[in-house]
Structure formats: structure tokens, C-alpha cells
Amino acid sequence: MSSSKLEKPSTGRRHAPAAPLSYHHGDLRRALIDATTELLREQGLEGFSLRAAARAAGVSHAAPAHHFGDARGLLTACAADGFERLADAMHARMNGAGADARDRAQALGVAYIDFALTHRALFQLMFRRDRLDPEDAALQAAGRRTGDALRQVYAELIAERGLPPSELGERILLAWSCAHGYATLVLEEQTVGLYGLGAGREEAASAMGAKLLQLLMGGLADPA
């Protein structure tokens, strides 16, 4: 996992504007998504606006609305991009874990946790349905990619252990709840008091997440 600190937006009222990102002709949409993602990392959702995104990308104030319609459209595009990046990370970690389904499932879970810890603001946005358009086709397709990765590896695990296929849905939900719930607790600094896991302790948080998933794999690999 990256040794960079957990992304935590500043709590001050004044924020220095994000440095404008350069872009090539035809890449304006990509530039706006990248600039907005960086803006969220630096300032959180409270620092986001279409004008702020335009300034960060070094484009006219009208450009974001032209490409995305409104703030919800731009944030939805950023969230879809986040799910694509998460799916890529999950597949890469899973495919590098070897042939054993249990190892692959644990690697996928660790990738999920590490993505959340490394991309705090983006990860949190990805699950803010109140700020996104849940009917957006790109967002739905990107979300399905992460779900497909989970279904693939847990179908392998069930087949390898000789478990009934009817249990696939419940076991996926349990594994997702563990990884997502743990990551959220760390991001919200709810683990600081008891476990000392929070901002600046991302490597320790990742290691603890791996241990929790290892314990979980023991239960998921056995008949209910």
C-alpha cells in the first residue's frame, strides 16, 4: 500500500485554489474529472462547485456545465471514474494472488480497503447517492465491474470448497460489509481510540484490514 497519508480535507474555511491542470485539445472532459477529483482530495465536497472545478482545470466557468450539465453530473462522472479505478485495482491484486480462491478473495478485499484509505474523498463520494445520479449509465456500468469482481472470486471460492451455489449472495454481502465497514470506520477515525488507527497510520490500518479479512476467509470458506 502507498505510504501517503490518508486524504483528509482541511477543516479551515479558506482554501488555496487547486493548481490548474493542463490538458490537450479534446481532453477537456478528462481534465475536468481529474481537476475535480483533486479538488475533492484537497478540500472535500464542501469546497466543490462548478466554478471551483473550472478554475482548477484552467477552463471557462461555462465548460463544466457544457460537458456535464450540472454539479451532480460532474460528481457522477468522478464517481464512475472512481469505480473504474477501484475495479482495476481489485482485478490487479486478485490476479496477482495466484490460483487459490481463498488467497484471491483476500487480495481483492485488501485492494478494496487500500483504495479507500488512499483515495478517501473519492471513495466517500462514490457512495453518496444524494450527490450522484444513480441512473447514470456510466456509473452503473462501473459499479457493476466491482460487483463482477466480487462475484467472480466468491464463485471460485464456493466451487473450490464444495459449498452450495445458493450461498453466493450472502457470502458476497458478508465480505463486502466487512471490507467496506472497516474502511469506513478508519476513514471516519472511529478506530483511533481503541486501536490507534486513523490519519497517518494507513500502513497499520491496511495490515489490520488484511488480518480481519484473513479471519473472515476462514468462516467464508466453511459451510454455514
Q: Which CATH number do you get for residue 161?
A: 1.10.357.10
For 188, the grid coordinates are 471516519
Domain coverage including residue 146: 70-220
How many domains are contained in the chain?
Answer: 2
Q: Are residues 187 and 129 in the same domain?
A: yes
- Do 22 and 84 reside in the same domain of the chain? no
H-helix or E-strand containing 66? helix 63-68
Cα Dmax for the chain: 59
- pLDDT tens per residue, the chain (224 residues)? 433 445 554 444 344 444 444 444 458 999 999 999 999 999 999 999 999 999 999 999 899 999 999 999 999 999 999 999 999 999 999 999 999 999 999 999 999 999 999 999 999 999 999 999 999 999 999 999 999 999 999 999 999 888 899 989 999 999 999 999 999 999 998 888 777 776 667 888 899 999 999 888 876 655 55
Same domain, 115 and 151: yes
Do both 86 and 173 map to the same domain?
yes
Q: Which grid cell sits at 8?
A: 483528509
Scanning the structure block, which residue is given the C-alpha cell 490538458?
23
How far apart (Å, rounded) are the C-alpha atoms in residues 142 and 86? 9
Q: How many CB atoms lie within 10 A of CB 170?
A: 12
- Let me know whether 144 and 191 are in one domain: yes
22 and 87 share one domain = no
Contact of 46 with 9, CB cutoff 8 Å: yes
The whole-number pLDDT of residue 12 equals 41
The grid coordinates of residue 29 equal: 472532459
Q: Are residues 143 and 114 in the same domain?
A: yes
132 within some domain: yes
Predicted pLDDT of residue 217:
82
Q: What angle do CA 126, 193, 9 make, to 5 degrees?
A: 35
77 with 62, same domain: the answer is no
Question: End-to-end CA distance of the chain, in Å?
Answer: 32
The H or E element containing residue 174 is: helix 168-187
The set of residues, in sequence order, having a beta carbon less than 8 Å from that of 67 and lying 6+ positions away, is 28, 29, 32, 74
Burial zone of 126 (CB within 10 Å; 0-12 exposed, 13-18 middle, 19+ buried):
buried
Q: Judge contact between 101 and 153, C-beta under 8 A.
A: yes
What's the pTM value of the predicted model, to 2 decimals? Answer: 0.84
Q: What share of the chain is helix, strand, coil (3-state, %, to 5)?
A: 70, 0, 30
Helix axis angle for 101-118 and 71-95, nearest 10°, is 140
Residues 104 and 42 in one domain: no
